[in-house]
Amino acid sequence: MATDYDAPRKTEDDSESIEALKERVPDKMSGSVDVEDADNPSGFELPGADLSDLELDVVVLPPQEDEFTCMNCFLVKHRSQLDHEGGDGPICRECAA
């Protein structure tokens, strides 16, 4: 009886620990990924970090001091193209026209 109870419990415990391992120990996962990605350089995590950095650069377009990002067309325009500051942000002349 005790053995019967122990068997299913052990299996459950096992699968649980594997899932927990996947989420909790990315180090070991990256190690196995490294083996699979034999083509790529071992710095597999570096491009990922770089990518997020790049994405951030694209999203957060740093406008120059004499530029602004129109909140309607989301284009970076020169200050001379600024029609007015809307409630959400600057609006360019083209959009205001």
The answer to whether the beta carbons of residues 90 and 71 sit under 8 Å apart is yes
* CB 63, min distance to Zn ion, A: 13
If the CB atoms of residues 63 and 95 are measured against Zn ion, the closer one turns out to be 95
Which chain residues interact with Zn ion by CB under 5 A?
70, 72-73, 92, 95
Nearer to Zn ion, 34 or 72 (CB): 72
The residue type found at 85 is: E
Closest CB to Zn ion among residues 34, 69: 69
How many Cβ atoms sit within 10 Å of the Cβ of residue 5? 9
- Minimum distance from residue 90 beta carbon to Zn ion (Å): 9
Q: Which among 57, 35, 30, 55 has a CA at the least distance from the CA of 45?
A: 30
Shortest distance (Å) from residue 70 CB to Zn ion = 3
CB 67 within 8 A of CB 79: yes
